[in-house]
Structure 1
Amino acid sequence: MTKTIDSHDLVKFDGRGVRPHGDVIAPLAFITPQERKPSFQSQAYTGGVPRYDFAMEDHSVRIADLRPNADRFSLDRQGFAFRTAPTRVADLWDDEAVAGPYTEETKRLLRRELGAEEVFVFDITRRSDDGSGATNPDGRRGPATRIHVDYTESSGPRRVRDVVGYANFDRLIAAGARVVQVNLWRPIAGPVARAPLALADASTVRPESLIATDQIFPDRVGEIYHLTHDPAQRWYYAPAMTRDELLLIKGWDSLKDGRARFTPHSAFTLPNQDPAAPARQSIEVRAFVVIR
């Protein structure tokens, strides 16, 4: 039986900062329902911290260790998958190496995993919980600590058109192609001892729990989902991830045939997380994948 660790247990680390595997009980940040559509001004818009016009509320939930059953999770059933896939790129802080060899690695992996015909990488973000955030060409980023889905029923198709072009998108859909948005998340250094990712099993998320939220940028208004709490939701994480491991997270799928389409996720604080443990450093690559 998997051990459950709650907020009253002391989670100890060994000399490498590795916590024991096991389920945990920890708070996650859910949106508080409100009558009007929520929105927030992005960091790019404010030039500093984002500004929100809605409230969040913490609910303590069980977050299960996915490692004992890692092979059973899939993008189409739960909306995420766990893989061991070492990278040949030695320095994931090197912008040129990330834009070149690492992006090509990512494309090859997504072609292999999804049987993709084309892969369009359109965003790469590093994150760190060291207090100042990880460096990126467009600014510093910390972990995303509000449960969210990167795209919605409306913004998914809009973002595809922005990335691949309106005519190309219409051509793909007319030809019966399927387009999937996938986020490939990898630790830059490991094992991860702070701020891991919690992932919802998308099959346990009711559509009415997904709350469309405007995301205001300097040049456009995007839309993401936040999530309201529902006791039926099931949550998972991968303890002590290394840089040879990664998570595939589905953000949107053009098919509406019952498979997972939107996967809520968030960084979270481990119970009695050791503040002296190494900071979480990660890199995520967002891509649109075309499948015929």
Structure 2
Amino acid sequence: MAAVVLPPTTTGTLGLWNGTKDGEAGYIDYATGNTNMNRPKEVDIVAHDIRHISPQPTLLKNGYQLTDIPTSVTTEEFLNSQTPEGKKHIEDVYFPECAKIIEKITGGVGLVIPTSFRLREQKGNTKQSTNEKLGEVEARYAPRPVAHLDRDTPTAIMLLKETVGAEKADELLSKYKHWAQVNTWRPIGNPATKWPLCFINHDRIPNWDYDTHVGHIFSKNDPLVADRGAKPYVCVVKHDDRYDYHYVSSLRPAECLVFCSFDSDPKLAMPHSAFWDNSTPDDAPNRRSIEPIPIAVSGAATNLKMNGVKTQANEENGVATEIIGDYLHVLDSRTWKTYKIPISDNFVRASDLSVISAPEVRQSKESGAERVRKLAVLDPGFQHTACKESAITLIDGEKGELWFRGMRIEDLFRHYDFDTTMYLLIWGHLPTNEEKERFEYSMAAAASPPRAVVDAIQALPRETDMYSILLTGLAAYVGTDTEMITSRHNPVLTYHNNMAHTDAALIRTIAYTATATAVAYCHKRNIEFTQPKQGFSLVENFLLMIGIDDLDKKISRTMDRLWILYADHELSCSTAASLHTASTLTDPLSCVLAMMVAGAGPLHVGAIELCYEGLEMLGTVDNVPAYIEAVKARKFRLFGYGHRVYKTKDPRATRIEELMEEHKEAIAADPLLQVAMEIDKQANTDPYFVERELKLNADFYSCFIYTAL
């Protein structure tokens, strides 16, 4: 059976708060249907598939989590839940299952209190508008395409008092510091393909709260009062460009989404909505889902860490600390002490290993006192060590997949440009039109080179290699940016915890790098440098600066896609060098300069140039067989082949082949192309390369595209 490849993003629509017609408090009279509400504001969204987000969102950190915990309740039993007998079965069987799910993913909570559940079922086969009338009672049992929260603080307290009584509620609220209404949302019968659930993530909005970002719709004559208690208003989410939208593609009945539809900590409260997914197949079944919404209470939220795994790892003095979740059980033969080391997302933390200690063999000569040393980890080359948790780039070397911020490289390559991809990588979301315009304006404003940079580059002989000229230009830039110079002499840290300064300096650094490359290129080829213009993208300005006429945008579109493929590649040597430099709290340009130096070697960025020079050395196809034999005998290295991460074909190489096809006539004129193709042909069939899983990587053919352009 062929596997279904799920897309990491989709587009669609949902509804948001759109105010009232009279400017007064919003209301709906469910007896008459009268309301002063405007129809919800329908917005187009790009939703990221949670299945492909790394690290995965968790209930304790983000307010929502995907779980693959099945249920014992059948489809028929769920659909029968509207009868008294069926309702009791849900309360007796499914509510305890939901409580166990909550306890499992949180590592245990103080108390889980059942309240109510809702069965939602879509009627009809057409797309319902997000602008449907909020007051239509029958629509309340269908997927609701309006972003909302089930409660805010006053209505959540009211629900708690109606559920357990006012006296017990006051006791719980005084005893427990953190409480939430936790929805365990599960599709019934079929995967939730039509009208899937969407989370409105507000992590990028500081101090998000119920008052500022939520509108209230007060209820009159609400028919649900009898079975749900008084609910004086509905909480509808107001629009904000900083929201990110997350969903799960084809959520299966054996899976469920657990999320805080209210939380005493607003940063964990998760607005949600059904949304119309534009990629929904025409024959997708109508959505059915069940939503039990118990209240969970616990101690202080800060006691819950690492997806419910407590980080205290030792059993010192005979007191065992409970570890919930996976762990290593370690017996130290030097002391015969035992330790439990938590495993989170297939990692152990060095800080947890450091609790393991033993007396040093050599004692202090002066005092003779016993000296205890903590366990340390030795890992030459960092082959088995992760130094950073990141949601920026994900590589699956076994499958040959590359993702930027949850988006496949294929989708970015085909549908977006390099500026958009940079923005996504840096700030974690696709930019709005306004954000992209500001980004490009700021880069263009910083792209005109200072005289000192031009002089430094032009002081080098033209025959100097390009990399050396570029490094010289960037180093000169370090001495021309006033803020960066001042930051090295200012006792008040310029960039630490100051994102406004850091973001602006980072944008200038991008512009400086592109401009230094352009000035170096012009100097090496003895052509005139052209000043950049506003209204151009970074790639368009780069081509302008090096004197290339690109009126039809064919070259810039090709360069855009080629640069996207090289925009980021997880924690490479150069990225690590940049992070090490950044840890000193220096300026962004110095970090990039360190990164450039680290990338110069033949096992990193330098491989691209060596690959092309190797082809020039061979000259003709006739020399390829002898070259392949020399590579196998380890007399030569075959640059552009094999990769430390990918065990199958580099996904970027496939995209480069697409670009080559677009420019096949110009590329075919390069006599070295036939040499490259013969190397690829022989290496793909030779057992030496096949058995070692050495595949073509992105460097092998990319040089031909630059040459053709």
Q: Considering the TM-score relative to the shorter chain, is it more than 0.5?
A: yes
Q: d(CA) in 2 for partners of 1:70 and 1:129?
A: 32
Quick one: which of 84, 95, 98 aligns to 1:106? 98
Identity %: 21
Aligned to 1:53: 36
Q: Which residue of 2 aligns with 1:203?
A: 203
**Which stretch of structure 1 is more off in the superposition, 19-28 or 222-231?**
19-28
Cα distance 1:154–1:166, how it changes in 2: closer, same or farther (>3 A)?
Answer: same
2:110 maps to: 117
The residue identity in structure 2 corresponding to 1:82 is L
TM-superposed CA distance for 1:59, in Å, is 1.1
Report the equivalent of 2:289: 282
The aligned counterpart of 1:214 is 218
Q: Is the alpha carbon distance of 1:163 and 1:28 closer, same or farther for their aligned partners in structure 2, counting shifts above 3 Å?
A: same
- Structure 1 residue 85 and structure 2 residue 100: aligned? no
Distance 1:51 1:104, change over 3 A: farther
* Counterpart for residue 175 of structure 2: 175
Structure with greater Cα Rg = 2
The separation in 1 between residues aligned to 2:218 and 2:55, in whole angstroms, is 35
Q: Relative to 1, partners in 2 of residues 1:187 and 1:221: Cα closer, same or farther, differing over 3 Å?
A: closer
2:155 is equivalent to residue 155 of structure 1: yes
1:79–1:202 contact (8 Å) kept in structure 2: no
Distance change >3 Å, CA 20–CA 175, structure 1 → 2: closer
Confirm or deny that 1:146 pairs with 2:129: no
- Verify the 8 A CA contact 2:11 2:279 in the aligned structure 1: no
1:22-37 alignment, distance < 5 Å = 22-34=8-20, 35-37=23-25
Aligned: 1:236 with 2:246: yes
Task: Please give the alpha-carbon distance, in whole angstroms, between the structure 2 residues aligned to 1:204 and 1:46.
Answer: 40
User: Alpha-carbon deviation of 1:75?
Assistant: 2.4
Would you say how many aligned residue pairs link Structure 1 and Structure 2? 264
TM-score by length of 1: 0.81
Distance 1:262 1:53, change over 3 A: farther
1:103-149 Cα distance to aligned partner (Å, 9 max, x none)? 121122222223123211111111121339xxxxx988211111111
3-state DSSP of counterpart to 2:296: strand
Q: CA deviation at 1:186?
A: 0.2
**1:234 alignment partner AA:** D
User: What do the CA deviations read for 1:202-228 (whole angstroms, capped 9, x no partner)?
Assistant: 323543221122233255342232112
- Aligned in 2, Cα 1:20/1:110: closer, same or farther, shift over 3 Å? closer
RMSD: 2.7
**In the alignment, which residue of structure 2 is the partner of 1:38?**
26
Is contact 1:199–1:266 with CA below 8 Å preserved after alignment?
yes
In structure 2, the CA distance between the partners of 1:127 and 1:71, relative to structure 1 (3 Å rule), is farther
Tell me if 1:251 matches 2:235. no
Deviation at 1:275, TM superposition (A): 4.0
Say whether the 8 Å CA contact 2:147–2:200 is kept in structure 1. Answer: no
Runs of 4+ deviating beyond 6 Å:
none
Instruction: Find the aligned partners of 2:53 and 2:34 in 1 and give their Cα distance.
Output: 39
TM-score, normalisation: structure 2? 0.35
Is residue 267 from structure 1 mapped to residue 274 from structure 2 by the alignment? yes
Tell me which of the two structures has the higher relative contact order, counting C-alpha pairs closer than 8 angstroms and 6 or more residues apart: 1
Alpha carbons of structure 1 residues 37 and 75: separation in structure 2 relative to 1, 3 Å: farther
Give the deviation of 1:181 after TM superposition.
Answer: 0.7
SS in structure 1 at match of 2:294? strand
Matched to 1:29, the amino acid is G
Q: What are the Cα deviations for residues 186-214 of structure 1, in whole angstroms up to 9, with x where unaligned?
A: 01122222010110113235432211222
- Cα distance in 1 for partners of 2:34, 2:12 equals 25
In structure 2, stretches of 5+ residues that fail to align are 126-136, 300-709
Per-residue deviation, 1:185: 0.3
Distance 1:141 1:22 in 2: 29
CA distance in structure 2 between the aligned counterparts of 1:51 and 1:71, rounded to whole angstroms: 46
